[in-house]
C-alpha cells in the first residue's frame, strides 16, 4: 500500500556550503543593535559581522527578502544605520545582507571588523 523509502544521508558538495557563497569573511562579535522593519523592531545582538552583512540573534519574526534598517551601536554611545535585506531566517536568528552602503557606512563596518 505505502512505498517505503530508505533515507540515505548525503553530504552536500562543498560548492553548496554557506561559506562558499560568502563574498567577505565574517568575524564573530558581540554588538548591540536595533532593527526596524515594516511591522516591528527590537533590540538585538549581532553575533557575526562582515563587510557584506551580519547574523542577528533574535527570535523575532522576519521574512526572507524583507527590508530592514539596522542601527548598530559601535561603542562610546556611537551608532550608525545601514539598510539591509533578510537573506535567511532560523528559529534563533536571521542573516542580513547590507544594501546601498555609502563610504561612511563601509568605513564604520571595517573599523568594527578591525577591532574584533
Among residues 81, 114, 112, which one has the least CA distance to residue 98?
81
Domain span at residue 42 reads 27-107
pLDDT band, residue 64 (cuts 50/70/90): very high
Structural domain count, the chain: 1
Query: Measured on CA atoms in the order 99, 111, 48, 43, is the torsion positive or negative?
Result: negative
Residue 21 covered by a domain: no
Provide the whole-model pTM. 0.76
**Would 84 be classed as within a structural domain?**
yes
The answer to whether residue 89 scores a pLDDT higher than 70 is yes
Q: What is the mean pLDDT of the chain?
A: 82
Q: Please give the average per-residue pLDDT across 63-89, as a whole number.
A: 91
Instruction: Look at residue 12 and tell me if it is in a domain.
Output: no
pLDDT above 50 for 62: yes
CA distance 51 to 112: 10
Nearest to 94 by CA among 64, 69, 74, 115: 64
How many whole angstroms separate alpha carbon 52 and alpha carbon 10? 30
Q: How many helices (H) and strands (E) does the chain have?
A: 2, 6
Q: Is residue 112 part of a domain?
A: no
pLDDT over 80 (residue 14) = no
pLDDT digits over 27-57, tens only? Answer: 888 899 999 988 788 899 999 999 999 999 9
**Banded pLDDT at 91 (limits 50, 70, 90):** confident
Query: Does residue 19 fall inside a structural domain?
Result: no
In a domain, 91, yes or no: yes
Instruction: Report the CATH number at residue 55.
Output: 2.40.10.220
Residue 20 in domain: no
Residue 16 within a domain: no
Amino acid at each position: 500500500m505505502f512505498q517505503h523509502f530508505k533515507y540515505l544521508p548525503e553530504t552536500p558538495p562543498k560548492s553548496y556550503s554557506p561559506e562558499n557563497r560568502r563574498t567577505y569573511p565574517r568575524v564573530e562579535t558581540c554588538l548591540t543593535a536595533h532593527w526596524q522593519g515594516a511591522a516591528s523592531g527590537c533590540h538585538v545582538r549581532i553575533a557575526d559581522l562582515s563587510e557584506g552583512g551580519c547574523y542577528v540573534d533574535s527570535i523575532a519574526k522576519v521574512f526572507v527578502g524583507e527590508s530592514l534598517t539596522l542601527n548598530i551601536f559601535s561603542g562610546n554611545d556611537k551608532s550608525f544605520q545601514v539598510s539591509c535585506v533578510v537573506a535567511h531566517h532560523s528559529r534563533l536568528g536571521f542573516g542580513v545582507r547590507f544594501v546601498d552602503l555609502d563610504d561612511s557606512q563601509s568605513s564604520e563596518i571595517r573599523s568594527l571588523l578591525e577591532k574584533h
